[in-house]
Homo-oligomer: A and B are copies of this chain.
Amino acid sequence: MAESRFGMTELDDLPEDLRQRISEVAQKSGFVPNIFRALGRRPAELRAFLDYHDALMDRSDGLSKAERELVVVATSGANHCTYCVVAHGAILRIRAKDRLIADQVATNPWHAHLDERRRAIVDLALALARTPELFGEADLAKARGAGLSDDEIWDVGSITALFAASNRLAHLMALQPNVEFYTMGRQPRD
């Protein structure tokens, strides 16, 4: 089974800025996540994707890092995206320091047991992910009722939107997760 229907780009064939950026990620995690080399076929698109991703996922105010990954795993589960569920499930386990949360949220995001704030975050994301045409004031009211600020609502909505794109790119490419992701964060001391 190929990693992607459209082939994988070698790091050496990428522009210098992307090669360096990806190398930094690889050094931290120990391997190059397949999404980078798969999108590398079109460097300008890869660069824009990474810029959007970092702008949303690395923000330091508002949602915590774990909450941002929670949005990703919930919507990727609802979209049945294997790459994103497995890769971001690993990151969620690590960020949330919780070995079980990723499988629970990815399998049934609608009723995984979460505290009130996390439940509100996930519900907001799900409302926008699968039937965006039905998204409206009632969804916003529920989010606000659970204490989410407008900036946090923007974050949840925008991350859901970015992964609506990301999930579809992965389905388009039949992108396979790196083997490493399947077990990351599953051990007690991880």
Residues of A within 8 A of B (CB): 1, 5-6, 41-42, 44-45, 47-49, 51-52, 55-56, 77, 79-82, 85-86, 99-100, 103-104, 106-108, 110-113, 128-129, 132-136, 140, 150, 153-154, 157-158, 160-162, 164-169, 171-172, 174, 176, 179, 182-183, 186-187
Contact = CB atoms under 8 A, between A and B. Distances in A.
A113 B176 CA distance: 10
10 contacts: A42-B154, A42-B158, A48-B49, A51-B51, A79-B132, A111-B136, A157-B168, A161-B165, A161-B168, A183-B187
Interface of A is mostly: helix
Contacts of A100: 179, 182
B165 A165 contact: yes
B128 A108 contact: no
A174 B113 contact: yes
A110 B134 contact: yes
Given A140-B5, A179-B100, A183-B186, A132 B48 contact: no
A128 B169 CA distance: 9
A160 B168 contact: yes
